[in-house]
Amino acid sequence: MSVSAIILSAGKGERAGFEKNKLLIELNGISALERSICCFCLPEVDEIVLAYAKRDEEDVFSLLRKYPFVKPVLGGETRMQSVFNALSVASGDIVLIHDGARPFVKKETVINCIESVKAHKSGIPAVPVSDTVVCLSSDGLSYPVRANTYAIQTPQGFLKDEILSCYQQAERDGKTFTDDSSLYNAYLGSPTLSKGDPTNKKLTYASDFNSETERVGFGVDTHAFGKDQPYILLGGVKIPCESGLVAHSDGDVLLHAVMDALLSAVGLHDIGHYFPDTDETYRGADSTLLTKTVLKTVLENGYRVKSLSVAVQAEKPKLKNYIDRIRENLASLLDVDCSAVGVSAGTNEKLGYVGEGKGITVYATVLMKKA
Ligand code: CTP
Ligand code: MG
Instruction: Count the neighbouring beta carbons within 10 Å of the beta carbon of residue 118.
Output: 15
29: left (phi over 0), alpha (psi -120 to 50) or beta: left
Which of 353, 66, 359 minimizes the C-alpha distance to 241?
Answer: 359
What global pTM score does this model have? 0.71
Residue-level pLDDT at 213: 79
Which residues have beta carbons under 5 A from ligand 2 (an ion)?
11
* Region 104-118 average pLDDT: 98
Q: What is the CA radius of gyration of the chain?
A: 30
Choice between 27 and 245, residue whose per-residue pLDDT is larger: 245
Q: Relative to the CA of 15, which ligand 1 atom is closest?
A: 28
User: Mean pLDDT, to the nearest integer, of 339-344?
Assistant: 98
Residues in contact with ligand 1 (CB, 6 Å cut-off): 8-15, 23, 51, 75-79, 82, 99-101, 202, 204
Q: Over the stretch 273-312, which tens digit does the pLDDT of each residue have?
A: 999 989 899 998 999 999 999 999 999 988 999 999 999 9
**For residue 339, with 0-12 CB atoms within 10 Å meaning exposed, 13-18 middle and 19 or more buried, which class applies?**
exposed
Q: How far is it, in rounded angstroms, from Cα 190 to Cα 293?
A: 59
- In sign, the C-alpha dihedral spanning 101, 105, 107, 112 is negative
CA distance 136 to 321: 63
Residues 117 and 158 sit within 8 Å (Cβ to Cβ): yes
Which of 7, 12, 21, 203 gets mutated to test ligand 1 (max ligand atoms within 8 A of its CB)?
12
Run of H or E residues at 343: strand 341-346
> In this predicted model, what pLDDT tens digit does every residue of 38-83 receive, in sequence order?
999 999 999 999 999 999 999 999 999 999 999 999 999 999 999 9
Helices (H), the chain: 32-39, 57-64, 79-89, 107-120, 160-173, 180-188, 253-265, 271-274, 287-300, 323-334, 352-355
pLDDT at 211: 67
